[in-house]
Amino acid sequence: MNEHLVIGLKGTVLTSEERTWLSEKPPAGVILFARNIESPEQVKALLASVRECGGDDIAAAIDEEGGRINRLPWPPFNNRTQADEYGRLYERAPESAVSDLYNDAYEAGTALRELGFTHNCAPVLDLFNSDGDAIIGNRAYGPAIHTVASLGVACIHGLQDAGIEAIGKHFPGHGRANADSHVAVPVVDAPVDVLLQEAESFTLAFSQNLNHVMTAHVTYPAADEKVATLSHYWIHDVLREQMGFAGTVWSDDLCMKGVGSNVHEAADAALKAGCELLLVCEPEGVEKFYEE
């Protein structure tokens, strides 16, 4: 199982336990959060330590969307434009919006690469919905498929050209969800044809070389009783078969309440459903995998 894990770390330096886990049972990658970050030099040193223990090929991810999802509190990360602002600019001047967003993603990607990161959990490809929980809100580029896809692709290409792999999220769409999946199991009550139509923002991004996608901890009862992360229907039938996605499927954090309270069971179910990389972000969840 550990070869599928992307794990969170406790602090700004590796603990002795983390060094042992990384050396003896290396995960596929690590993901950093604000608790792991003090300065550029410290981040570089932390990721160097991770690779010293786990090997040079270990992935290093972060959620650096820009705007309110910002982990690195220094330029160019802490003063980036919020996604919905790009959406409003796109309505007035689409070429300018695409160009500005590409340049922003390229600058951020270059800085991430210099720190030692390989992946960024961005862009958000969810459609904004005024009835949805605020957990997405202004993180979405807008309510229209074409707007979200066009701006999402600009972000993807900017990151990729800087040497960072983009991870589009949250498939098949979190914008309509009625709750925050960190603390509850969100539900989207919409017909299957509407869900598939709105997921076109992902399909369009796949056609422009998006190689990684993250699932949503959301239930869509019209399609399947299971949350998408644990759903063979969404990951295999729709994502793989209907959409033809050939890249890597990442689960959202399996420590979130949207997939229950047992991280082991959630990981097993996500793997069986078709997720290939399993995010386990909280130190307590990571410990359960390595100590039990």
Q: Report the CATH number that the domain containing residue 231 is assigned in CATH.
A: 3.20.20.300
Write down the pLDDT at residue 98.
98
Q: Which residues are the active-site residues?
A: 182, 252
Cα distance between residue 278 and residue 268, in whole Å: 10
**Structurally, how many domains does the chain consist of?**
1
Write down the pLDDT at residue 289.
87
Buried residues in 14-52 as b, exposed as e (16+ CB within 10 A): beeebbebbeeebbbbbbbeeebbeeeeebebbbebbbe
- Global confidence as pTM: 0.96
Mean pLDDT by 10 residues, the chain (292 residues): 95 97 97 98 98 98 96 96 98 98 98 98 96 92 98 98 98 90 86 97 97 96 96 98 98 89 92 98 92 75
Write down the pLDDT at residue 44.
98
Domain that holds residue 267: 2-291
Write down the pLDDT at residue 138.
96
Write down the pLDDT at residue 184.
79
